[in-house]
Amino acid sequence: MKNKFDEFYFENDTNYPANVYWDLYDKNHMEAIKKYDGHMFCPLCKLAPLTVAKGNQRRYFKVIESDMEKHDIECSYRHKKATKKETHNFYKDLDTTDIRNRLVSCLNRMLKSVLKDTNNGNSLMRGEKKSKNNFFDFKGDSGENKYLPHKNFNSKNLEEDMDIQKIYYGKCALYIYKYVPKDETDIKMYYLKVLNKNSKKQICEISISPYVYNYLSDELADIPEDKNKALNYYLCFSGILEKDKYSYKCKLKDSRLMVLEKE
């Protein structure tokens, strides 16, 4: 099957959203080709080489058919993406999906550098695994292995299939806004503001009810309320994004649907 990748793994470093390549390509296409082409791999298993599709209407990365077997045997990209119905059915009962462990694996595998095994300081080579590659996998309606829709929220195509619940992940800066209605004292809603870590432009906001917040209070306790003091984090959450006036918004329906860690 032909998957279009909107991020890539660059040698023994880390994953990057596609715009890192295309921004350089638009400035100096020869420099981009020299630096990245032939040095980009599947962002999940880090093994299958990516080929760049270039053109006015074609800007994406793919694994050509002859390279499909170079994916790790557990890599989700050996399978088809789940349909909207299959994805909906997966999330209906969170007690059976082990979703939090999946999000932790996603955060570690998709966002952190693999140059060092931080537990013992040993260097890791491309393709060596500290975690499995199949944390997106589940059985679809027909019993066939499928993978959950997912996307790096630093990608520039967030509006693609927005009506389908996805696992969103990325490096970002965070601060939190606590909404208290006028003439009241109780917090009615928490808004976790997700910013681009470099430009500090808002990517999205995640609304969290006080009930859900109580389960996450320890993890969210260190996040500042001042945008100017926003802290860098690894963030992974699952939900349905909606287009807002200036960015995107998402309602966190369950505390198990978000994990975060200071960068």
DSSP 194-255: EE-TTT--EEEEEEE-HHHHHHHHHHHTT--S-GGG-EEEEEEEEE--EE-SSSEEEE---G
Q: Which two tokens stand for residue 232?
A: 């860098």
CATH number of the structural domain 168-262: 2.40.50
Q: What is the pLDDT of residue 118?
A: 45
- Domain locations along the chain: 7-76, 81-147, 168-262
The per-residue pLDDT string of the chain (263 residues; one tens digit each, 9 = 90 and over) reads: 568 898 999 986 789 999 899 999 999 999 999 999 999 999 999 999 999 988 766 788 999 989 999 999 999 999 999 999 999 999 998 887 899 999 999 999 999 876 544 444 454 455 454 457 889 999 988 889 999 999 999 988 888 889 999 999 999 999 999 999 999 999 999 999 999 999 999 999 999 999 999 999 999 999 999 999 999 999 999 999 999 888 999 999 999 999 999 99
How far is residue 52's CA from residue 21's CA, in Å, rounded to a whole number?
10
